[in-house]
Amino acid sequence: MGSLMRCLKKGVVVWLTGLPGSGKTTVAEGAASRLRSEGYRVEVLDGDWVRKTINVGAGFTREERERHLLRVAWIAKLLARNGVIVLCSFVSPYREVRAKIRSIIEEEIPYYEIWVKASLKECMRRDPKGLYAKALRGEIKHMTGIDDPYEPPEKPALIVDTENETVEHNVRKLKEFIESAIHSRK
């Protein structure tokens, strides 16, 4: 890569939404790594990391999720305003809340909603953190897909199908989408 840094006047916010275990963070981290290798400044804001650092104690009721996600939207907007490409990896299950996120960010920053698509059955099969198993045993409440709904985007800017496509394919697809979005603004 060398030391070339591609400084953007304004970044973008790419919001990856999908069921728990759908592969949001895997795809976001892969695309971020590739973009960084080309000199872009990129941050990945992931649900687990944000809940362990910035928003400790955030709950999972609809109201708590909304408050949590709106905070993330403001952070993403601030980063993007300073030329950073921000990839947000959050279940963000409710359309209404995602619309509020969009309105916060789009006041001054391009925003793209990406649906990381995988069936509930496939996400339950993967269950990387054992959350579905715990929810089915009644140990977790408000589990998206089990006792709380997931509302897929009606008009996503991009669909990343992690059930039927490889990680490599999806990482490349997302990276190319982001580069196209950046270059179309110039």
CB 12 within 8 A of CB 111: yes
Which amino acid is it at 35?
L
* Tally of CB atoms within 10 A around 18: 28
* CATH number for the domain that contains residue 109: 3.40.50.300
| Residue 6 domain flag | no
Q: What is the pLDDT of residues 104-144, one digit of tens each?
A: 999 999 999 999 999 999 999 998 888 999 899 999 898 99
Domain that holds residue 47: 13-184
* Catalytic residue annotation: 92
What total number of domains does the chain contain?
1
C-alpha–C-alpha distance, residues 159 and 163, integer Å: 12
Q: Provide the pLDDT for residue 2.
A: 47
| Residue 5 domain flag | no
| Residue 4 domain flag | no
| Residue 159 domain flag | yes
Question: What is the pTM for the complete model shown?
Answer: 0.92
Q: Tokens 């998206």 belong to which residue?
A: 144
Q: What is the pLDDT of residues 142-175, one digit of tens each?
A: 899 898 999 999 999 999 999 999 999 999 999 9
| Residue 174 domain flag | yes
| Residue 2 domain flag | no
Residue 114: which residues within 8 A CB-CB, separation 6 or more?
A: 14, 15, 16, 17, 156, 157, 158, 159, 160, 174, 177
Q: What is the pLDDT of residues 16-40, one digit of tens each?
A: 999 999 999 999 999 999 999 999 9
| Residue 8 domain flag | no
| Residue 91 domain flag | yes
The full 3-state SS of 97-158, as one line of letters, equals HHHHHHHHHCCCCCEEEEEEECCHHHHHHHCCCCHHHHHHCCCCCCCECCCECCCCCCCCCE
